[in-house]
Amino acid sequence: MALDIKNVLQFLSSRAAKKIVVIDPGHGGKDTGAIGVHGVLEKEVVLKIAKEILNHNHLILDDRIEVYLTRYKDTLISLSDRAMLARELKSDLFISLHCNAAITRASGMEIFVADKDNPHMESSVQLATSVLGESGRKLGIRERGAKVGNFQVQRKRWTFVRQF
Torsion from C-alpha of 137, 28, 48, 136, nearest 10 degrees: 0
Residue 86 belongs to a domain: yes
Q: How many CB atoms lie within 10 A of CB 23?
A: 26
The domain of 104 spans 20-163
Per-residue pLDDT tens over the stretch 113-163: 777 666 777 777 887 788 788 777 877 778 888 888 777 666 555 444 444
pLDDT at 15: 54
The count of domains in the chain is 1
Q: Could you tell me the pTM of the whole model?
A: 0.73
Task: Let me know if residue 53 belongs to a domain.
Answer: yes
- pLDDT tens digit string along 56-95? 888 888 888 899 999 999 999 998 898 888 888 888 777 8
* Rounded mean pLDDT, 45-50: 88
Residue 52 amino acid letter: E
Q: Establish if 2 belongs to a structural domain.
A: no
| Residue 164 pLDDT greater than 60, yes or no | no
**What is the CATH classification number for the domain harbouring 67?**
3.40.630.40
**Sequential DSSP letters for 100-131:** ---SSS--SEEEEEE-SS-TTHHHHHHHHHHH
